Every structure is written in structure tokens, then in C-alpha cells.
Amino acid sequence: MDGRHWQWTAAAADDGSVQMCDVESAGGKTLSSVSLLGALLGKMRATSYVSEGAPLSIALPSIVATDGAEARAVSTLADAAAIGGWKLVAAPTAAEALGVALARKWPFAKADEGTRPRLVLILDMGASSTVVAVIKLTPPLGGEVGTAEASHEVVATGSDPFLGAALFDAKLLDHFAAQIAAKYGEGVSMASRRGLRLSVATERLRKLLSTMKEASATAENLIDGIDVPLTATRDEFNELCSEPLARLRTLLDTTLASVANAMDVGADDTAASAALNAVEMVGGGCRMPCVQQVLSEALAASAAAGEAIAAEKPGAKLDDSSIALGAAIIGRRAIEAAAAAGESAVPPPAGLLAADALQALIEQEQAFAAQDAAAAAKGAVRNELESYVLDSRNLSSRKHGEKVDTAKLNPLLDATEEWIYSDEAEAATVDVLQAKLQEVKEQVAAATSAYAAAVEADKLAEEKALEVAAAAAAAERAANGEDEDHDQRKLKFPDRLRMVQKNKEEGTELFKGAVDVTQFRGACARYNKALGHCAKFVDLSPDQKEEVNALKLSLNLNIAMCWLKITDAENHLDQAIRACDEAISIDGDCVKALFRRATAREQKGQYDDAKADLKKCAELAPDDKAVPKLMTRVEAQIARQKAKEKKMYGKMFG
């Protein structure tokens, strides 16, 4: 994997580990690979479903076959992460793990031909490594699917621990770094924030080229705030990546040749069993068309495969978790076999480090864990403060917003926002941030006291009105001798339609005369009741179905408008968006639904989504004057967010 953008240098140590040195911190903090991997293992242990103190069994797959040193390495990592009661139960190769996963998923038919095995080639290209394996699958006895698992055997395997999708990204990265240096007169250091931003953009471009012949991406804020466009064609990409593609072809040719030699393809009596029956691909790297092309060419040229299998589309029965799944199954089988044999627990092997070095490593990991916990706590309070400021800004646009003292509130929120992105806030402790949050809450409460009193009065009035409405509704149901919740009558179309229209008309009357949220809620309830009746039509003709869909569209639009008015409910915007989604599912070009969803999204702060809805509105209804007005507000908020982010990153990175 290309780690040139990391803020670390790496060098081999005398004990076989890798020393990683932080090039940015004062004094150059140095950590060993053992420490970093131990921290990773500890994090995985902490986030697993295994309860604290419970014994832990580890199955460790490896890309290449080793001499059994995994046990001592895992022992060191487990000790560094302060994990007790662990045991390494299996250390399979990636090919063995893939074979187990494939055997569980291969769809043998009940009427399979005897016990003839199947030869399946698996190509697994991930971010940093590639594994090629040829697995022989033998169907279960009797060919009964689901009653037994196919047996499997690894016939041939090959691997490259440094050939992965990240290597293709690195080729693009070098190409564009040279272009940028020539155009702007500034180089891009890979071990910098600028290099990381370029790396993210090139990865995005590589993924786009997997779906189109020419693609573009943007490296944001790359050179003095300038966004740099990156463009490439698929042919250019293939040419830049000729070296990793050649390595992949060599890996495939070598593995396929070993299959042909082992099975003696030239002999007539074994030719049928030697030929590959299928090909499976797994891993993000295999989504690249150039990788698929190299695989096809290698298969066509191999005596163990041929043009027929090369022309078939590879299968996708495995997923990115297949190696982990296979290793876990192998580990479970090892545990069960040991229990059946009555074997006692074997103590963990000795680690790679001396006692004093291990103790220093444990203390270092504990210190880092404490720093992580403090950073997480600080981030939580900071996020709460930011959310509170954003929510407070929206108070003046809600019902009774005129009662907010904006002359006091807005300067207070502006000053708080400035402080959040200041050096003082960056260096603040959790206690300081919590004190700041409490202070801001008290000041906001003082500036919005009249607003809060009005909202509370509305809430009390609504609760009383709801009690009255519930009693009236109960009386109405009792008088009519029916309960809507249990109305499962199979009415004729005209009868059910009258009930829909009656409730819709009542809702519209309530909405037109509404002056507070209680009446808007009543209108919404009527519209929902009408929508409930729409779900109870049966045996509709095409024309009747079209009429019902038109009613459902109108009702969802009205419900969305009601929820936009019911501003005292915490989820009123989510409800409005849900109703708009229902309307759009009926008519994807409904301008009213798109505009109302954009309105709700703007109020929720989902400005990019609101902009996307408004763009479609502008295409469908270019003369609608409300659309550009809302678009202006949304784009202003997006620009403001970007300005704040730019300011924040400027303070963070200098």
C-alpha cells in the first residue's frame, strides 16, 4: 500500500519490527509496528460482542504461507493490548480461508453428476494485496443441497502482498502530482495534508473510471485555496498502470500453469477434470475493467482454462468478508476438534519482546487509550455546542420567532462560532468546553425568554385541545358504531372513494381555517385518515388505480404542508420529508413535492440535498419564482459552511 502521504517515516528495527516516526510532532515521536498493531487488536477486542474478561479465540489469516511465527507475534500484540485469556486457534492462508467460504456458498444441484469435482479460480484483489487461488470442490454425498457442505482442496495458489488497488491509485497520484508541479510551480509532498487531499481525489477518479471511459474529479483546496480538476480516460489509466497489470498477469499465469502441471492437462483421461469450471472475483480492485481484461486474457491463454471460460462473466458469490469468514470457520472447527479430543487449553506461546520492553509498551498503550477517551469526550461536547448554536439560529424562523431578541441573540451566536474555531477552543479541555456550553445556553435563554414562554403556552393549549379532540373522536366512533382502526370492510369502489374524499375535504377545511398548530394537526389527522382509506381499495381497474394514485399524491402533499406548519414537534421536518418521499415515489417529477422537500431540508440544514431538489424544480418549472428565492438562501448557507470549514482547516493546519 502506498503510504507516502502518511505523517510517518518507517524503518526496520533490530528486533524485526518496524519503527514508525511521527515527522510532524516535536521531537519526532516513535512507535513500533507492534505497538500500533497491538492498539488495533485491542480496539477490535473492545468493539466486539465478546464480554469483558471472556476468553478470546483468534484465527489469523495470512496472505502468504509462513513458518508459524504468527503465534509469537499474536502473543506479543495481545499482551501489548492487555488482552487476557486469549488463544490462537488457527492461522490459515488466505487461499484456505477463501476455499472454506466458497465451499459453503457453491450452489451444487441435487442432480449433480456423481461426485465429479469442480475447479474454481478465485481472484481476490483488495486495497493492498492480491490472492489467486484454484479450489477443487467436491459435492456432498448424494448431492443434497443445504444438508451438507462440499469438501474443498486448494489446488494452487499465488499471492502478492503489495499488489492492490492502492498501487493503481499511486500511479495516478504520481501522474497528477507531476502535472500540478508543472502547471502551478509547486510540488505536492506526499507526506502532507495537500498530498492526502490529492490521494483522495485520485482514488475517487480511479473508481469513476471503472464505470465510464472518461472521468473527472476535483482535488479541493489544493494550491492556495484553488480547486484543481483532474481528468483521465480509461486508456490513459491503463497505460499508467501497465506495471501493476503486468505483475497481475504474471501472478495469474504462474498459478494457472501450476494447475495445468499438477493435473496433467495433456492426458485425455484427465483433461475434463483439469479444466476450470468457473471463475470468481472478489475485492474492490476487481471492479477495474483493466483487471478484468487481464484476467480474461490470462484465462484464454491457459491450457487449464481456455477461451470458453474466459468469455464467461466471473461470478460474485464471495464478498469482502470471505477471508475473515473462512478463517473464523476454520478456527471454530479447530476448537470443536480439540474439545472432542479432550485436549486441555495450551498456554499462549512466549512473545517477541522482553518483559521490560513489553511493560513499556503496555504503559504507552494505556496512555494513548486515555488520550483517545479524552479526545472523544472533547469532541462530543464540541459537537453539542456547534449543534446548539445552529439550532438557536433557526429559532427566529419558527412560529413566535418574532419574539426572539435577535439584536442580542445573533451577535452572541456569531461570537460563539468565532470562539469554536479559535486556537483557544482548540486547546480547551472538556471542562472548559462544558462551561462554555452552559454559559451560552444561559445567554440564549435570556435572549429568547419571550419565545420560550409562547412555545410553552402553545404546548399546554395543544395538549388540552388534543384531549378534547380525542374525546370527541371517541364519541363520534361510538355514535357511528365503527372504529376506523378495525375497518376491514370490503367496500365497493364508489363507497370507499366517498370516505376518502369526505376526510380530505374536512382536512382542507381545517387547514384553510387553521391559525395554530392544533388545527394544523387536526387537518393532518384527516388527511392521514383519508390516506388510510386509500390503502383499503380492492380489485382496482387501471383507471381506478390511476385515480387513487392521484388522490394519494395530493394527500401526501397536503400532509407535508401540514407538518411544515406544525413547528413545535421535534420531528416535524422529518415527517414532512417522509410525506414528500411518498409523493415523489408516485410522481418523480412532482414540483410541489420536490419544493416542499427542499424547504424541509433547508430548515434541517441539509443544504446539498435541498439544492439537488431545487435544481430539478428549476428544470421542471423554470417560471416558478419561489424556486430561485429558496435556491438563493440555500446557496448562501452552503457558501457560509464552506467559508467556516476553510477557516477551521486554516487554523488546524496553519
pLDDT for position 132: 94
270: in domain = yes
Lowest mean pLDDT among 245-249, 282-286, 490-494, 647-651: 647-651
pLDDT at 519 over 90: no
Residues 130 and 208 in one domain: yes
616 near 601, Cβ under 8 Å?
no
Residues 466 and 544 in one domain: no
Q: Which residues contact 254 (CB under 8 A, 6 or more apart)?
A: 158
Q: What is the CATH number of the domain that holds 581?
A: 1.25.40.10
348: in domain = yes
Q: What is the pLDDT of residues 609-630, one digit of tens each?
A: 999 999 999 999 988 889 999 9
Phi, psi of 132 (to 5 degrees): -120, 130
Residues 507 and 622 in one domain: yes
Residues 467 and 498 in one domain: no
When divided into structural domains, the chain yields a total of 4
User: Which of 437, 463, 481 is where one domain is finished?
Assistant: 481
Domain that holds residue 140: 107-316
Most confident of 9-23, 235-249, 370-384, 522-536: 235-249
Stated as kind and residue range, the H or E segment containing 233 is strand 226-233
Q: What is the pLDDT of residues 115-126, one digit of tens each?
A: 678 889 999 999
370: in domain = no
218: in domain = yes
Residues 594 and 582 in one domain: yes
pLDDT for position 26: 41
Please enumerate, as own/partner, the contacts of 345-349 that have beta carbons within 8 Å and a separation of 24 or more: 345/87, 346/87, 348/71, 348/75, 348/78, 348/86, 348/87, 348/88, 349/71, 349/72, 349/75
Cα distance between residue 474 and residue 337, in whole Å: 66
Encode 354-389: b = buried (16+ Cβ within 10 Å), e = exposed. Answer: eeebbeebbebbeeebeeeeeeeebeebbeebeebb
Give the strand pairing for 214-223 and 226-233. antiparallel
pLDDT for position 653: 46
375: in domain = no
Q: What is the CATH number of the domain that holds 243?
A: 3.90.640.10
**What value does the mean pLDDT of the chain take?**
81
Q: Which residues contact 380 (CB under 8 A, 6 or more apart)?
A: none
State the SS3 of 240-271: HCHHHHHHHHHHHHHHHHHHHHHHCCCCHHHH
545: in domain = yes
357: cell is: 520492553
276: in domain = yes
Residues 197 and 294 in one domain: yes
141: cell is: 454425498
> In this predicted model, which residue has the larger pLDDT, 471 or 590?
590
Residues 342 and 427 in one domain: no
380: cell is: 462530543
DSSP three-state, residue 280: strand
Residues 146 and 26 in one domain: no
150: in domain = yes
Q: What is the pLDDT of residues 290-317, one digit of tens each?
A: 999 999 999 988 888 877 788 888 888 8
Q: What is the pLDDT of residues 10-48, one digit of tens each?
A: 555 555 555 555 544 444 567 666 677 777 777 777 776
Residues 275 and 129 in one domain: yes
Lowest mean pLDDT among 28-32, 398-402, 501-505, 532-536: 28-32
DSSP characters over 567-603: TTSTTHHHHHHHHHHHHHHH-TT-HHHHHHHHHHHHH
pLDDT at 144 over 80: no
> In this predicted model, which residue has the larger pLDDT, 322 or 653?
322
Residues 648 and 546 in one domain: yes
575 near 586, Cβ under 8 Å?
no
Residues 476 and 507 in one domain: no
Residues 259 and 112 in one domain: yes
pLDDT for position 474: 63
